[in-house]
Amino acid sequence: MVTAALLGVLVAVAGLPLGWYGGLACAALQAGCPATAPPTGSLPRMTRLTAVQVALSGSYAGLGDSYSSGEGVYAPAGQGGEDGRTGGKPDPGRLPAGEGAAPCHRALGSYVPLVAGAHRFGGGTGFWACSGATTGQLLRGQHGQRPQVARVDRSTSLVTVTIGGNDAGFARVLTACIVKLPWSSACVDQDAEVARRVDGLRSSLLGVLRELRSRAPQARIIVLGYPRPFPARPADRVDNLGVEDQLWLNRVTRRLNDVMREVAAGFDRAVAAFGGPGSVEFVDAYDAFDGHEAGTAQPYLNRLVVHVEELTVDSRSFHPTGAGYRRFAELVDHQIVTGPGRPLNNFVLSRP
């Protein structure tokens, strides 16, 4: 206030014009300064990406177990191959991407290469699924290879994964059902132990999703369920499996899928609640092979194959055929387009 009074006295004494006083006050007091000119141009605009744009904006990583690796159409070395199998001495240029393809039984006929070929991903595709993988091995690695989750990074925009069947011990369960005596209840007698393992999947699957999310915070993560292996109303025995055995195995598959759905849906609700980008989406494949289950005229699952001389069960048994993997690819393609059923919080800045 003293400075202002002094300025006023100087103006009065010196007879300076008031305009000059205003300029002096602006410089000395930062008061009375004229308004600055409005800024030119416009601010950048935030545009919300569509589900398809999010999925295709970066790279695609195909992870998971034998249902993703292509076990059902994989041919061991020396047996040649068809329907997109690797094996024999294939053209190296046609092999699935990534080291460890042979021990992981990755095959071109899996849904992962089919999805990759149907879309243009901005960052390319990585095919890392491995037969026999559990949730723990997804995090730790198999066959001396880097963990599958380590193949995912901030540039990843789409992840697909089938996982959980090996945690539930489904291969051992099915084997026990097949080798039992025809009149034995050994198959359904496994129910309590299988239920315990399936329930344990909740925490381990959640751990996988957290790791994927931390590595690829912008990505859409699509978790695929497993198809019902036998008809909803079986009419006859299939590979030593009676009607009750088949119905029980169907129920086990439904239970496994329900747990996967609950974990994925809960995780996605948390992402949406905090306004985070990306998503976790569950694709229910339980009825995907309806009319084409094991034991039907045109199955999408391989039936039991036994190597009599070696007394071993072929690993392709009860895994998808080429048609089954094509059906899986259709489910993923549809999900890429439809999205999680909510707006995604992925944005880009653009200038008008």
Asked whether the beta carbons of 201 and 260 are under 8 A apart, the reply is: yes
> Does residue 270 share a domain with residue 170?
yes
Q: Is residue 79 part of a domain?
A: yes
Mean pLDDT of 109-129: 95
Position 278 pLDDT exceeds 60 = yes
Contacts for 349 with CB less than 8 Å, ≥ 6 apart? 44, 45, 46, 47
In terms of domains, do 69 and 19 share one?
no
Which residue would you say has higher pLDDT here, 188 or 250?
250
Q: Domain total for the chain? A: 2
Measured distance CA(154)–CA(131) in Å, rounded: 26
Lowest mean pLDDT of 168-172, 226-230, 267-271, name the range: 168-172
Same domain, 152 and 233: yes
pLDDT tens by residue, 182-230: 777 888 888 999 999 999 999 999 999 999 999 999 999 999 999 999 9
d(CA 346, CA 54): 7
Clarify whether 319 is annotated catalytic: yes
Q: Which domain holds residue 121?
A: 50-340
In a domain, 227, yes or no: yes
Mark whether 192 and 110 lie in a shared domain: yes
Residues 122 and 213 in one domain: yes
Evaluate if residue 352 carries a pLDDT over 70: no
139 pLDDT band, cuts 50/70/90, is very high
Cα–Cα distance measured from residue 323 to residue 227, given in angstroms and rounded to the nearest whole number: 13
In a domain, 351, yes or no: no
User: Is 90 exceeded by the pLDDT of residue 14?
Assistant: no
Mean pLDDT calculated for residue range 232-246: 89
CATH number at residue 243: 3.40.50.1110
What's the pLDDT at 299? 95
Average pLDDT over residues 340-346: 96
Q: What is the pLDDT of residue 37?
A: 60
Is residue 174 domain-shared with residue 275, that is, in the same domain?
A: yes
> pLDDT band at 305, cuts 50/70/90?
confident
Within a domain: 352: no
Catalytic option among 66, 69, 110, 131: 66
Provide the pLDDT confidence category of residue 177 given band limits of 50, 70 and 90: confident
Q: Are residues 193 and 323 in the same domain?
A: yes
The residue with tokens 């091995």 is: 137
The pLDDT, as a whole number, for residue 85 is 38
CB burial of residue 210 (10 Å; 0-12, 13-18, 19+): exposed
Would you call 214 a catalytic residue per the annotation? no
Q: Which pLDDT belongs to residue 78?
A: 42
Is the CB of residue 77 less than 8 Å from the CB of residue 102? yes
Q: 69, 105, 279, 319: which one is catalytic?
A: 319
Q: Tell me the residue ranges of DSSP E strands in 143-276.
A: 156-162, 220-224
21 and 78 belong to one structural domain: no
User: pLDDT tens-digit profile of 75-94?
Assistant: 765 444 444 333 333 333 33
pLDDT of residue 293: 95
Q: Is the pLDDT of residue 7 over 60?
A: no
Q: Based on the fold, state whether residues 81 and 31 are members of the same structural domain.
A: no
Mean of the per-residue pLDDT values of the chain? 84
